[in-house]
Amino acid sequence: MGEGFSQMNLENSTAIVTGGASGLGEATVRKLVETGAKAVVFDLQQEKGAKLEQELKGRVRFFKTDVTDEKSVQDALEQIESVNILVNCAGIGAAKKTYGKSGVHDLASFRKVIEVNLIGTFNVIRLTAEKMAQNSPNEEGERGVIINTASVAAFEGQIGQAAYSASKGGIVGMTLPVARDLASLGIRVVTIAPGVFETPLFASLPEKARDALGKMTPFPPRLGRPAEYAQLVQSIVLNPMLNGETIRLDGAIRMQPK
């Protein structure tokens, strides 16, 4: 990382964004490119990833990557010279009760959500940290920044969110120990816990449902915008004292059971 990395200047940085082909990840890619960084997208959405790469030619590279697969991530990392920033946005959800009218929660879908959201996040962290450790430190002794995506569901999981909440709670839980693990290397680790945001998941809901969800937020009474998530990513990168913390980005919402 160059001198500018900790001085409101991202021009010398390379950022990996998992799940960067859509939603919060795509907004983050666009923000990082806008501020002068180069972005590398790890995603399974081939068509969307290729389209983003073409649109932001020269600033974005796309690699079809499965975050849960060690070799897939390693292969992608081998094609990147260096990395200063990692933003983990890849994730999935599942809406099933532990036990209800449709019977017991199947173990396969619970396992899948944990595998992608929690294990996938850690898999990319550990392999990227190894590469970040090779960076020359800047004047703060900093070599890299890792930003993870949890959710307010980590704290107030709703009915049917056992798997999702468990996966996001795991991300919150590992933030501090991973930050402590990597502190001697000058690598910071911070997690963002978004509230209800305008993402592809919410776009599939009826307008009435989206409005109702937005009004649950005290202020501003609307869904969060992906660009607001991306803005926080930028702020975390540029503030060297942010480390080992989970930041709620939620307009003061506290989720009710349903």
Spatial distance between the Cα atoms of 43 and 48, rounded to a whole number of angstroms: 9
> Any bridge partners for residue 61, and if so which?
40
Where in 44-107 does DSSP place strands (E)?
Answer: 60-64, 85-88, 99-100, 103-104
User: CA end-to-end span of the chain, whole Å?
Assistant: 45
Q: Which long-range contacts (CB under 8 A, 24 or more apart) does 57-61 make?
A: 59/33, 60/29, 60/33
Catalytic residue among 164, 170, 232, 253: 164
229 is catalytic: no
Place of tokens 């660009």: 227
Count CA atoms within 13 Å of residue 62 on its CB side: 23
Distance from CA of residue 87 to its chain's centroid?
5
> Any bridge partners for residue 100, and if so which?
103
Catalytic residues: 164
